[in-house]
Amino acid sequence: MCAILDILSSVDFWKFALPLLGAVVAWFANEWRKRIADQYQRKEANYKELLHALRGFYVGASNADELKSDFLNQLNIAWLYCPDDVIKNGYAFLDTVHTHRVSLDAEKERALGVFVAAIRCDLLSRKLVRKTKLSPTDFRHIGVNKSA
């Protein structure tokens, strides 16, 4: 026991131990920052695809069905990386453009604006999604009605 105390009180031990401990802490901090940066890059790429696919909901889009399908696929993928409000606002937007429901253009634009704002807030926060209040019943499997 006395030998251990002698080692711990030794200046030579601390000359070695403190830099080692600092290096370990720096390595973990660096890995954590890399993880956040990687997730941010994935989110940004997926959000770009999601926003690009929104053009399918505008009248006159030549490949509207394909873009709508892409949007739905990206919204499904969003369950893997997005916070709850992005997913809920995405579904709220889809509710306004659903073919079985008549919505005013202003209502559609507002829902779209809220959805895009939620995406922007998520990207600006740079936070990892760790918790969710979504349940399996919140997930929707939605298909595209093919245009004639």
CA atoms within 13 A on the CB side of 143: 3
Specify whether the CB–CB gap between 55 and 69 falls below 8 A.
no
Query: In three state form, how does the secondary structure of 84-123 look?
Result: HHHHHHHHHHHHHHCCCCCCCHHHHHHHHHHHHHHHHHHH
Residue 104 has a pLDDT of 84
Q: How far apart are CA 27 and CA 120, in angstroms?
A: 30
Residue 27 has a pLDDT of 94
- Please, what is the angle between helix 105-125 and helix 84-97, to 10°? 160
Reported as a single tens digit per residue, the pLDDT across 24-61 is 999 999 998 898 888 889 889 999 999 999 988 887 77
- 3-state class (DSSP) for residue 29: helix
Evaluate if residue 1 carries a pLDDT over 50.
yes
**Residues 64/115/41/140 CA torsion (nearest 10 deg):** -70
- 3-state class (DSSP) for residue 33: helix
Q: How far apart are the first and last CA of the chain?
A: 85
User: What integer is the mean pLDDT of 3-26?
Assistant: 82
Residue 148 has a pLDDT of 44
CA atoms within 13 A on the CB side of 138: 17
User: What integer is the mean pLDDT of 7-12?
Assistant: 76
Q: Tell me the percentage of the chain whose pLDDT exceeds 90.
A: 43
Length of the chain: 148
Evaluate if residue 147 carries a pLDDT over 70.
no
Tell which wins on pLDDT, 147 or 140: 140
Looking at every residue in the chain, the average pLDDT score rounds to 86
